[in-house]
Structure 1
Amino acid sequence: MADRTGGSYHTMEAETQEHPPSGLARWKLIGPGIVVAATGVGAGDLVATLIAGSRFGYALLWAAVLGCIVKIALAEGSARYHLATGSTMLEGWRSLGRWTSWYFGIYIVIWGFVYGGTAMSATALPLSALFPGVLPFWAWGALSGILGAAFVLMNRYEIFEAAMKFFIGLMFIVVVGLAILVVPNLGQALAGLVPTVPEGSVIYTLGLIGGVGGTITMASYGYWVNAKGWRTPAWMGMMRLDNRVAYIVTGIFVIAMLIVGAELLYTAQITLAGGDRGLLDLEAVLAERFGSTVATIFLIGFVATTFSSILGVWNGVSLLFADFVRQLTDKDHADRRDLETTPAFRFYVLWLTFPPMILLTMGRPFGLIIAYGAFGAFFMPFLALTLIWLLNSSRVPAEWRSGWLSNGLLGIAAALFVVLCLYELVGLFI
């Protein structure tokens, strides 16, 4: 059973329940939010949070918390549009004008090529460290991409969700365990909840608020909500519970990484390398401080973080691409096929996997990086601003339009991402 909202509807919830359960039974259905959270937290987010903690201690803890609140608003807005209208985000964007299709089509092709290489490279780093000399670096990256593609193409949503829950559970246990191991200073942590911006921390502050917890995959949340079998406004409360639980978990995860940075690195004045390789520096610090067993456990959590992002992007962004192609080829929107079964979905999974392998063996072409940075920097402002537009328009029934709180948070998100976008563009060309 499928409709235009995309995804796969072969879950037990979709087949047997028209309305969500009440009480404790609701908690058993939590899942799509976990998927988007696990996908959104990648190695780069861990490094950014660690570096913030290593440079400023607990001073930016408030920014990490605010960032999770902002992401709750963005994800909720995306899923609310799906549930309230029965339309997808791609249909919503297309209703704003053909310019959205031009932008999104160019963006998703460039982004997919570069992100595919980045994600496979990030997964290869801990695998190479765990199994030194077994395979060359590029082979670990290629293997992780191929395994991710095979899993996504061979399994339906319910299996995919179960795998993502496993990975985020592993990530959570490892990272929170490390935070407990380094013995956090609770007094300083509580003081860090009071907003302050230390000298030289402006960009780190904005990055913590805007960068942790997902980018384009936040637009996939509505598709995963539909795939779970939640397809009408009756599921709005269930979706909001799911979303809040997921980002509370993400918030604890981010706070734990900042604690590790503050206690393990800030106090010892240890500097990490930039990019994903900074996590290998942390592994060396952990080995010296706590022994090889703790370092190995951390690398396993590192693998869970990066490989869950592969699975989430390979599935979620491929759903977006499949819906984009449907919008272009099905002018009457009569095609109600399951998006996971379409040639466009399979094509984009393979696009994420095989062409980017070139980037594992050679330097990334400078022109491609410029183009990717320019288009990529605009996506989050695009998402925030178009959500404000859509959710306050007649496209959405009056009872489900945004109120002052949603508009306020989406407005903060839009302003924040515009500033980050401008900073990114200035950094690219100066």
Structure 2
Amino acid sequence: MSKSTLQGIKNSLGPGLIMAAAAIGVSHLVQSTRAGAEYGFALVWAVILANIFKYPFLEFGPRYALATGKNMIRGYAKMSPVALWIFIIFTISTMFAVHAAVTIVTASLATSLTGIELSVTTWCGLILVLCVLYLVRNTYTLLDKAIKVLMVILAISTIVAMFLAFTNIGFTPQPEAIAPEIWTVSGVAFLIALMGWMPIPIDAAAWQSIWTIERMNETQYKPQLGEVQFDFNLGYIGTSIIALCFLTLGAMVMYGSGQEYAASAAGFSKQLIELYTAAMGDWAFILIAACAFITMFSTTLTVTDTYPRVVNEFVSILKSDDENVEEKRYAYLLVGVSAGSLLLLILLGDRFRFLIDLATTMSFLTAPVLAFMNHKLIHQPEVDEQYRPKSWLYWLSVSGIIFLTLFALIYLYWMLFY
């Protein structure tokens, strides 16, 4: 690899790692662990297929940004007003549930880390206020450096814990343990919830296109396609591997043990940390609690920042505002979106599993439409031939649309007729 390519990769590195920080959250800490705890290794195929078939649609985000110098939201607007409004409606309808879901997980881990017993809504309020203050003061860049280090520590700890669990515990469920049937109403509902954010919602393609543009503006460097792909693949493949690690930990420590997966936020955080301490020893408690909290806090912080930016982009496109107006509006949206998410948390209380399943299921049901839009967008005339997907990625994209549509229809069939 040439020196210039290495420097190019260094200049390009960032958006893929931010995506990884956002992804290693609810889909991994909650849903993957729960899949292993309740079903053993029976749902490994679902995790693998979701990661494979969502790959093209998320990869198209940085690819489109590099090819056109625009984010995907502006691409939707140019492609069709209908596409823009579909994305607006899907975003508005899911953002409060998504934001609330990541916040409640962060709040549960804050309780375990500090030992301070506050209500889950109080912790959520404190965390959201902290996020808003950080983002209004533009200190996210400074915090992001520390988050990436701690995310790496959590990833290494998870892999180490998985191997230690194999060595110290092994897969030894009770002889009478039987995994729940997958093809039932509750089984299909969880299957869709598991795949909904695995490894991250397809909406994140538009987010990453924004991050890619910001990275290019920051470095004043336009990378090669291979350099952008390296950054994306590093984050994407890493999150896919970590998802399987969490599923494995859940299967070996909890499946067939007689334990039930917690329905409350506080119970979940306790169980999550016990997964590590059972494999690594009690000494790991503080390390894992701190890293898990920081990882989820980074997810909450990213989502708290991203949704106001996305909504701001909608309004800017519709009203053709200048940058000064956008900056002021961002601050108002930052407070407004966080307030809306907190209101939803107050209304739902500590209905932890319900909120997580609601957010992830909504994301999965919108996925086929967003996947089709991304597939069509990357083949628009403004995308030069050199940036268009090669044959294997094209057909994987087509297969992904079929896969996501098929499972969405299966879910709707089971919900309506069983």
TM-score calculated relative to the size of structure 2: 0.80
Q: Quote the residue 1:302 is aligned against.
A: 292
Bigger mean CA offset, 55-64 vs 200-209: 200-209
Quote the Cα distance in structure 2 between the aligned partners of 1:305 and 1:287.
18
Give the conservation status (yes or no) of the 8 Å contact 2:164–2:279: no
Quote the Cα distance in structure 1 between the aligned partners of 2:101 and 2:193.
19
- Secondary structure in 1 aligned to 2:90? helix
Does 2:393 align with 1:417?
no
Equivalent AA in structure 2 for residue 322 of structure 1? N
1:351–1:164 CA distance, 2 compared to 1 (3 A): farther
Give the conservation status (yes or no) of the 8 Å contact 1:217–1:317: no
CA displacement 1:312-351 (0-9 Å, x = unmatched): 11222332222111110018xxx4x389x62332233212
- Secondary structure in 2 aligned to 1:358? helix
Alpha-carbon distance, 1:32 to partner: 1.0
Q: Quote the residue 2:17 is aligned against.
A: 34
Does 2:372 align with 1:382?
no
Q: Which runs of 5+ in 2 are unaligned?
A: 172-179
Quote the Cα distance in structure 2 between the aligned partners of 1:351 and 1:359.
13
Give the conservation status (yes or no) of the 8 Å contact 2:71–2:209: yes
Q: Quote the residue 1:243 is aligned against.
A: 232
- Secondary structure in 2 aligned to 1:182? helix
Q: Quote the residue 1:352 is aligned against.
A: 337
Alpha-carbon distance, 1:33 to partner: 0.3
Does 2:106 align with 1:123?
yes
Alpha-carbon distance, 1:34 to partner: 0.8
Does 2:298 align with 1:312?
no
Among 200, 208, 224, the alignment partner of 2:182 is 200
Give the conservation status (yes or no) of the 8 Å contact 1:207–1:420: no
Give the conservation status (yes or no) of the 8 Å contact 1:112–1:351: no
- Secondary structure in 2 aligned to 1:21? helix
Q: Quote the residue 1:271 is aligned against.
A: 260
Equivalent AA in structure 2 for residue 324 of structure 1? F
How many aligned residue pairs are there? 395
Equivalent AA in structure 2 for residue 212 of structure 1? M
1:115–1:207 CA distance, 2 compared to 1 (3 A): closer
Equivalent AA in structure 2 for residue 344 of structure 1? R
Give the conservation status (yes or no) of the 8 Å contact 2:136–2:331: yes
Alpha-carbon distance, 1:169 to partner: 1.9
Alpha-carbon distance, 1:296 to partner: 4.1
Quote the Cα distance in structure 2 between the aligned partners of 1:167 and 1:287.
18
Does 2:195 align with 1:213?
no
Give the conservation status (yes or no) of the 8 Å contact 2:378–2:388: yes
1:412–1:305 CA distance, 2 compared to 1 (3 A): farther
Give the conservation status (yes or no) of the 8 Å contact 1:377–1:421: yes
Alpha-carbon distance, 1:142 to partner: 0.9
Q: Quote the residue 1:194 is aligned against.
A: none
Give the conservation status (yes or no) of the 8 Å contact 2:182–2:191: no
Quote the Cα distance in structure 2 between the aligned partners of 1:377 and 1:208.
9
Quote the Cα distance in structure 1 between the aligned partners of 2:38 and 2:358.
31
Q: Quote the residue 2:176 is aligned against.
A: none
Question: Which residues in structure 2 correspond to 1:9-408 (within 5 Å)?
Answer: 21-23=4-6, 26-27=9-10, 29-155=12-138, 158-159=141-142, 161-183=144-166, 200=182, 203=188, 211-215=197-201, 216-229=203-216, 234-266=223-255, 268=257, 270-274=259-263, 277-284=267-274, 292-330=282-320, 335=322, 337=323, 342-363=327-348, 376-408=363-395
More helix by share: 2
1:34–1:150 CA distance, 2 compared to 1 (3 A): same
Equivalent AA in structure 2 for residue 45 of structure 1? H
Alpha-carbon distance, 1:255 to partner: 2.0
- Secondary structure in 2 aligned to 1:228? helix
Percent identity of paired positions between Structure 1 and Structure 2? 22
CA displacement 1:348-379 (0-9 Å, x = unmatched): 32123223222343337x9xx89978864443
Give the conservation status (yes or no) of the 8 Å contact 1:224–1:316: no
Equivalent AA in structure 1 for residue 14 of structure 2? G
Alpha-carbon distance, 1:267 to partner: 5.6
Q: Quote the residue 1:3 is aligned against.
A: none
